[in-house]
């Protein structure tokens, strides 16, 4: 694994990410930053304090805050290495169709972090569907790992 990828993975895991992956969305027509087709994808585990809907809502908002901080860690690291890095808004409406796009999910799938389960939810092997994804778009070249 390259030095940049290893540093990013280490920094994000130490800052609270449950899992971290790297991928490419090259050719995706919904790519928000066409010049930045590579992605750093990460997940924050939801940790509700109890079983009520309010506990889960609070956990979701806490995970959202943590995901935003992780994005700043990743952006700073990528920029230190001389690459561009941008964070996509969490959801946007396509101007031609009334469908909300969730780019974090596409990035998580492209990075190998998650797959859709039987209910259509994104699920990770490590945490199940109980996660909040975050994505940083970059022009850093991810080389394929040799197996």
Rounded CA gap, 139 and 133, in Å?
20
CB neighbours (10 Å) of residue 143? 9
Number of structural domains the chain divides into = 1
Establish if 147 belongs to a structural domain.
no
The answer to whether position 102 is within a domain reads: yes
Does residue 118 sit within a domain? yes
Flag whether 111 is in a domain. Answer: yes
Highest mean pLDDT among 30-39, 47-56, 98-107: 47-56
Asked whether residue 101 is domain-assigned, the answer is: yes
143 falls within a domain:
no
Cα of 50 vs its chain's centroid, Å:
26
Is 146 a domain residue?
no
Q: What is the pTM of this model?
A: 0.86
Given pLDDT bands bounded at 50, 70 and 90, which one contains residue 146?
Answer: very low
Residue 50 has pLDDT above 70, yes or no: yes
pLDDT at 98 over 80: no
Q: Tell me how far apart the alpha carbons of residues 29 and 115 are, in angstroms, rounded to a whole number.
A: 20
* pLDDT on residue 100: 46
In the predicted model, what is the mean pLDDT of residues 81-90?
Answer: 85
**Nearest in space to 30 (alpha carbons), one of 96, 83, 74, 113:** 96
Please, what is the average pLDDT of the chain? 86
Domain that holds residue 124: 3-138
Residue 145 within a domain: no
**CA-based nearest residue to 60, from 49, 70, 75, 74:** 49
Among 10, 66, 75, residue whose Cα is nearest residue 43: 66
């Amino acid at each position: 694994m390259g030095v940049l990828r290893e540093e990013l993975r280490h920094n994000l895991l130490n800052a609270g990410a449950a899992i971290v992956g790297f991928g490419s969305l090259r050719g995706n027509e919904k790519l928000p930053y066409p010049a930045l087709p590579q992605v750093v994808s990460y997940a924050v585990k939801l940790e509700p304090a109890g079983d009520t809907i309010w506990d889960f809502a609070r956990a979701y908002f806490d995970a959202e805050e943590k995901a935003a901080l992780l994005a700043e860690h990743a952006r700073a690291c990528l920029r230190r290495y001389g690459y561009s890095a941008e964070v996509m808004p969490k959801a946007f409406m396509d101007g031609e169709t009334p469908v909300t796009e969730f780019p974090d999910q596409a990035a998580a799938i492209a990075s190998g972090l998650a797959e859709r389960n039987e209910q259509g939810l994104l699920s990770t092997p490590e945490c199940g569907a109980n996660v909040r994804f975050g994505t940083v778009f970059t022009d850093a070249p991810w080389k394929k790992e040799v197996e």
